[in-house]
Chains A and B, each alone.
Chain A
């Protein structure tokens, strides 16, 4: 079965600084990978996804993520964080033959200081 680890529970960055949120997955074949963001009081919104092809994926709100098979990672990055990026971020993995069920990580809460 697939699994996802988000090692950082909480990260604080200054506005304008760069951001990298870590995600490691466990799965024997090529996974389907997602990043979702949850703003306070809101549902989850898809930031980006990786299915195949180019390993650097661009998403909404200036986010990108890079799939690295050798490291089993799918880290989320943003060059310059805005105060409105403060939220909780979830990495998720899906796999073929799992009836399209996603496995979510435990989330990383991002705080942005001004």
Chain B
């Protein structure tokens, strides 16, 4: 099994629908992150969590919410999906060791909003 697992891998949804992307990890890391990747824009941070009770907004949190259900699970929700949320979404984890965290990424979820 992969260290960081994202489900689903691909999803097509309609405008206005609620959708949840799920992420689970087996590394025992405290820190988890959600990033969005758009062509030509690189990766941008949506939300991050340093433990179960610590949730923080990233640079593009509008239109998104998250839930940290357990140390190993971090979900991203789009309450009412819109077409410009079509993107590749990545979950990542890190520990708190050694100067600056090194991110470990999942394989991504490709979301299309029609």
Give the interface of A toward B (CB within 8 A).
Answer: 4, 9, 32, 34, 36, 41-46, 49, 51-52, 90, 92, 94, 96, 99-102, 104-107
Count A-B pairs with CB separation below 8 Å: 56
A51 to B43, CA, bound (A): 21
For chain B, residues 57 to 114, give those with C-beta under 8 angstroms from any C-beta of chain A: 58, 90, 92, 94, 98-108
B48 within 8 A of A: yes
Q: Which B residues are in CB contact (< 8 Å) with A4? A: 42
B3 to chain A, nearest CB (A): 10
- Interface pair B58/A104, CB less than 8 Å apart: no
B15 within 8 A of A: no
- Interface pair B48/A101, CB less than 8 Å apart: yes
Considering only CB atoms, which chain A residue lies closest to B99 in the complex? A51
Given A44-B90, A106-B41, A34-B102 contact (CB < 8 Å): yes
Q: List 6 A-B contacts (CB under 8 A).
A: A46-B102, A51-B98, A100-B31, A102-B45, A106-B40, A106-B41
A42 to B104, CA, bound (A): 12
A94 to B94, CA, bound (A): 13
A104 to B36, CA, bound (A): 11
- Interface pair A43/B106, CB less than 8 Å apart: yes
- Binary per-residue interface labels of chain B (28-61) against chain A in the complex, 1 for a CB within 8 Å, 0 otherwise: 0001000000001111110010100000101000
- Interface pair A90/B42, CB less than 8 Å apart: yes
- Interface pair A43/B105, CB less than 8 Å apart: yes
A41 to B106, CA, bound (A): 11
Q: Which A residues are in CB contact (< 8 Å) with B100? A: 32, 51, 94, 96, 100
